[in-house]
């Protein structure tokens, strides 16, 4: 198992380096970055000043290695717009995005696990079919649209929750619900298929033969085994949800890193955009690594492999 | 993830008995026909501004007029006409993205799955690297840098959504590369290219079709999200996502303005997914990651 994890770690580091390179290349896509920063109304002189000030007149390879060395140390430069270190900006916004992601994941698990289990127990019944239909509906729901609908319904008509903004716990409920929709279908399907497999296995038959209660069999024996892949996928899903937070944060005007990135794209604030892409990718890489580790720790069969 | 290759038996008959398939195929079929026939079936020019008749409710609501079945938007443009042209945008984005990403992903997947070894390591690495890139963020950043356009959305989504094609093409190719008919083709003296294109590709095509539906649904949703955030299909093109964004200001007073394009988007994506699910059930494959 150690060998497997070591291999995964090396791949993760290589992927991180690739993403570092890509996020550098991303900002150089437009050809001349200085012209993009200066904006459409800038004179030739302005562009030249900017090129000097940001070191864009140096050879591309020098710029790249400079960025690489600094980025590895957690130094993403200075924001063109906010007059602050990019690292500080991200550091202050990241807790909001992380909280939102965790709230979304929590809601998704609370909905997906029971429904997945019920569907598996009543396989091929109308309950099962209804649950699968819920999964399909969740998959087809445009998140930004659902957000707007909830704003009108829960925020305005029922006046239950704040419509948008950043603030206390109540501000996380609606965005959390919207975000959970993207994770519910896959978590539910996985719980269901895992439970179906577990329930038809030999150890469940043994447990039944021993006369254990139905609930005890379901929770203690079947679910414990079905949960292994679900836990691993939940970590990966959290990574995807953080990546998708840009849409939801923009809809609800929550000032997390997603909103920061969206704002910065509009203002041509490239150091910030570049850093947010990198940070979200690194978090995803770390979460997939965690998923592999969890899989290995939770599943005794993998421990000896 | 695991994919098993099972040949379909009596496929067409079983498909027609599947309610999900019938509903899904109807939704996608109707949308496709509407999209193709758009210039001939729209009651009005989707770009024609009529500032006197702004935000007229749909004809079945209070204060609605029979002249505009789904009402008009904030600039007095006929909502039904815009919705029909919007179907065009969604379908073109969906199909073009699937073709682009399908070619990239399938090529990588077959190469990795067939040759194994170093080649497979490289392909697996590319898939892992691709998955770690936040799609929406990168797509928005590219659009912000290069200026948003219809073609750019297709290109960016096509270049980003190939991962599932690669994963499925790789694992299915691995399963069939040692089967008898592949060996027979080798013995008969077929070239490598011929084995890959004439033996492997046709036999994994059905699995790729399932992926294609999933990716098409995703591409349509992503285009709408990008356009909603103002960096996808540019105005005045009637992308459904853009229609929702433009109507957002008025949703607290007249909620139907976001309901109409939103429901259209939801129903189309649901239809594409239903189609994919029915295909998957038929093939007995498990493509869930």
Q: Report ipTM for this prediction.
A: 0.87
Whether the CB of B122 is below 8 Å from some CB of chain A: the reply is no
Whether B285 has a pLDDT exceeding 60, the answer reads no
- Give CA A268 to chain center in angstroms: 24
Nearest to B146 among A30, A148, A244 (CB): A30
Q: Which of A149, A37, A66 is nearest to B259 (CA)?
A: A149
User: Closest partner residue to A265 among B140, B217, B286, by Cβ?
Assistant: B140
Contact: A11, B128; criterion CB under 8 Å: yes
Mean pLDDT, residues B26-48 taken together? 89
The pLDDT of residue A229 is 81
Q: Does domain B17-283 have CATH number 1.10.3720.10?
A: yes
- Cβ contact A145–B266 (<8 Å): yes
Rounding to the nearest 10 degrees, give the CA dihedral for residues A24, A26, A27, A33: 110
Residues of A in contact with B274 (CB under 8 A): 136
Is the four-CA dihedral A266, A101, A20, B109 of positive or negative sign? negative
- Least Cα distance to B150 among B86, B74, B212 occurs for B86
A34 touches chain B (CB under 8 A): no
- Window 218-237 of B: residues touching A by CB (8 A cutoff) are 221, 224-225, 228-229, 231
CB < 8 Å from B in window 163-192 of A: 186, 189-190
Q: Considering only alpha carbons, which residue of chain A is nearest residue B133?
A: A281
Q: Which residues contact B187 (CB under 8 A, 6 or more apart)?
A: none
pLDDT band at B289 (very low <50, low <70, confident <90, very high): very low
Percent of chain B with pLDDT over 90: 42
At which residue do the structure tokens 């890959």 appear? B196
What is the distance between the alpha carbons of residues B186 and B164, in angstroms, rounded to a whole number? 29
- State the CB neighbour count (10 A cutoff) for residue A6: 10
**What residues contact residue B41 under an 8 Å CB cut-off, 6+ apart?**
B34, B84
> Least CB-CB distance to A250: which of B142, B229, B262?
B229
Mean pLDDT for A190-194 is 88
Give the one of B129, B217, B258 whose C-beta lies nearest to A145's C-beta.
Answer: B258
The arithmetic mean of pLDDT across residues A11-26, rounded, is 87
B228 contacts in A (CB within 8 Å)? 144, 247
Tell whether the model's pLDDT for residue B68 goes beyond 60. Answer: yes
């Amino acid at each position: 198992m150690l060998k497997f994890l070591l291999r995964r770690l090396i791949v993760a580091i290589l992927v991180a380096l690739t993403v570092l390179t890509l996020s550098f290349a991303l900002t150089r896509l437009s050809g001349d970055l200085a012209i993009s920063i200066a904006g459409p109304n800038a004179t030739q002189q302005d562009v030249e000043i900017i090129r000097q000030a940001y070191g864009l007149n140096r050879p591309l390879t020098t710029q790249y290695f400079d960025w690489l060395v600094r980025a590895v140390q957690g130094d993403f430069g200075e924001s063109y717009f906010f007059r602050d270190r990019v690292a500080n900006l991200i550091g202050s916004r990241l807790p909001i995005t992380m909280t939102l992601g965790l709230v979304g994941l929590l809601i998704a698990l609370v909905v997906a696990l029971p429904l997945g289990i019920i569907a598996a127990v009543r396989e091929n019944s109308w309950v099962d079919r209804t649950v699968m239909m819920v999964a399909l509906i969740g998959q087809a729901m445009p998140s930004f649209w659902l957000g707007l609908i909830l704003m009108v319904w829960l925020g305005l008509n029922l006046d239950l929750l704040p419509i948008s903004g950043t603030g206390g716990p109540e501000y996380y409920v609606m965005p959390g619900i919207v975000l959970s929709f993207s994770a519910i279908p896959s978590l539910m399907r996985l719980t269901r298929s895992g439970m179906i497999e577990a329930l038809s296995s030999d150890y469940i038959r043994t447990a039944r033969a021993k006369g254990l209660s139905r609930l005890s069999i379901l929770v203690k024996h079947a679910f414990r085994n079905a949960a292994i892949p679900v836990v691993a996928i939940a970590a990966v899903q959290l990574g995807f949800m953080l990546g998708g937070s840009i849409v939801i944060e923009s809809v609800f005007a929550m000032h997390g890193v997603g909103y920061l990135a969206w704002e910065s794209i509009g203002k041509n604030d490239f150091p910030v955009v570049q850093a947010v892409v990198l940070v979200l990718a690194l978090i995803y890489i770390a979460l997939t690594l965690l998923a592999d580790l969890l899989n290995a720790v939770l599943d005794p069969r993998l421990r000896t492999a | 993830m695991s994919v098993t290759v099972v040949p379909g038996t009596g496929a067409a008959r079983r498909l027609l008995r599947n309610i999900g398939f019938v509903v899904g195929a109807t939704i996608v079929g109707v949308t496709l026909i509407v999209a193709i026939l758009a210039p001939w079936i729209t009651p009005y020019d989707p770009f024609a501004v009529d500032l006197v008749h702004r935000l007229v409710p749909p004809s079945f609501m209070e204060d609605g007029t029979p002249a505009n079945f789904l009402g008009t938007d904030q600039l007095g443009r006929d909502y039904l006409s815009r919705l029909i042209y919007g179907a065009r945008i969604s379908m073109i984005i969906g199909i073009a993205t699937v073709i682009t990403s399908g070619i990239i992903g399938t090529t990588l997947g077959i190469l990795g799955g067939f040759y194994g070894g170093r080649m497979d390591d490289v392909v697996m690495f590319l898939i892992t690297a691709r998955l770690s890139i936040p799609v929406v963020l990168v797509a928005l950043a590219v659009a912000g840098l290069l200026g948003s356009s219809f073609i750019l959305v297709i290109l960016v989504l096509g270049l980003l959504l190939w991962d599932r094609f690669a994963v499925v093409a790789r694992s299915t190719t691995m399963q069939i590369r040692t089967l008898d008919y592949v060996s027979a083709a080798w013995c008969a003296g077929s070239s490598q290219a011929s084995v890959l294109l004439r033996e492997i590709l046709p036999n994994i095509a059905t699995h790729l079709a399932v992926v294609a539906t999933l990716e098409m649904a995703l591409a349509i949703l992503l285009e709408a999200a990008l356009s909603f955030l103002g960096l996808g299909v540019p105005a005045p093109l009637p992308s459904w996502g853009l229609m929702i964004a433009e109507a957002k200001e008025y949703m607290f007073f007249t909620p139907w303005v976001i309901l109409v394009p939103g429901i259209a988007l939801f129903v189309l994506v649901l239809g594409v997914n239903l189609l994919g699910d029915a295909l998957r059930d038929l093939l007995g494959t498990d493509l869930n990651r």
